[in-house]
Amino acid sequence: MDQNTVAIIISTVAMIISLATFFLSNQKRKKTSNENTPFNTRPLQLQAYERLVMLTERISLPNLVSRANQPGMNAREMQLLLLESIKQEYEYNATQQIYVSPVAWEAIHNLKEQNMLIINQVASTLPEGATGIDLNKRLLEFIMNQKKGTLHSIVLEALNYEAKKIMK
């Protein structure tokens, strides 16, 4: 097992632990009532969860590769384009963190960081002169070989779980 694979496994385990903590803390937390507040934030919270679901989908590696694919780029240019796309999507939605739980936002942050780590690590394994298409193929192969499912699907489950609790 090479060093890149170990780093990816460690980051995946860290994310799974974060999500497990998220689910456990949400089960213990009492349902908060919006009746005591002068302003009902529930619609804003639901909108924030919707936007974060969209963010999660947009920065998932398969969707990102599909959207950013541009013929003629070398691997380094594609790597930078993918990383910049993730950063822009994340920054565009950063204000939503005030409407969601800290654990939900941490899950989004961890997804962003892990996807950037995967892109950088996969790019570092490519030979000199590799194309952007080579990088995209390797990224998709990596995602398809994950046995425990993709991290973005785990984050989606967590966001859906929290949004459904708000709707009750």
| 47, two tokens | 């909108």
Average pLDDT over residues 132-136: 96
Distance separating alpha carbons of residues 65 and 32, to the nearest angstrom:
40
Average pLDDT over residues 141-168: 86
With 0-12 CB in 10 A as exposed, 13-18 as middle and 19+ as buried, what is 85?
Answer: middle
Residue type at 93 in one-letter notation: N
Number of domains in the chain: 1
Question: Looking at this protein, which amino acid is placed at residue 115?
Answer: N
Whether residue 27 lies inside any domain: the answer is no
Instruction: Note down the domain range covering 50.
Output: 3-11+41-167
Residue 18 falls inside a structural domain: no
Per-residue pLDDT reduced to its tens digit, 5-43? 666 666 666 666 666 666 656 555 544 444 455 578 899
pLDDT in the model for residue 30: 44
23 inside domain:
no
Tell me the residue type at 5.
T
pLDDT at residue 1 tops 70: no
pLDDT of residue 17: 67
